[in-house]
Structure 1
């Protein structure tokens, strides 16, 4: 197997690959593996230099590790996507509930204003005066 195909695939999965390398070659530290920042060719060369294994054997181990871990990672990804979708659905449901509740309260307030317009204006005016007084006191204290 040529590492170039694996290198293209691994570029986006570097964190995943580091874990696989540590699994396959425990004598390599995470810091050593981290140095290569996604360059699989350099990593293979380094493993070859460090362990004496052939490039072909290293590539075979990488492929075997990938085959071993890929199903677990895909399952974890699918589970995470399910949780995200479920969270998204719950958030959409909550937003719809709030939107409906606000619309209902708005309709109630509108009906109250239409039934008692003078009282509504008086309440709004009084609320404005109180709010203005509170804000004035707060700003005065600063």
Structure 2
């Protein structure tokens, strides 16, 4: 799913993101609001993983959409 579609469907996708990464707060997701790089950074921060691993996880999530 491309970034324009993610931004357009953010409210529906937000719930699925919270299921995938439960450590992300509502504030985190409100700040992300469809911005992929911010989401990658928050996944990295909350889960203490490398940026490349967070990027891979977000890409895999996007493919599931």
Given the two structures, how large is their TM-score scaled by the length of structure 2? 0.71
Q: Distance in 2 between matches of 1:13 and 1:58?
A: 16
Secondary structure at the residue paired with 2:2?
helix
Residue 10 of structure 1: how far off its partner (Å): 0.2
Q: Aligned residues, how many?
A: 61
RMSD: 1.9
Q: Which of 20, 26, 29 is matched with 1:24 structurally?
A: 20
The verdict on how the C-alpha distance between 1:44 and 1:6 changes in structure 2, with shifts beyond 3 A counting, is farther
- Structure 1 runs of 4+ with >2 Å offset: 61-64
Q: Distance in 1 between matches of 2:62 and 2:22?
A: 13
Aligned to 2:8: 12
Aligned to 1:112: none
Which ranges of structure 2 fall in alignment gaps of 5 or more residues?
none
Check whether the contact 1:48–1:58 (CA below 8 A) recurs between aligned residues.
no
Indicate the structure (1 or 2) with the bigger Cα radius of gyration.
1
Given the two structures, how large is their TM-score scaled by the length of structure 1? 0.38
* Relative contact order, higher structure (CA 8 A, sep 6+): 2
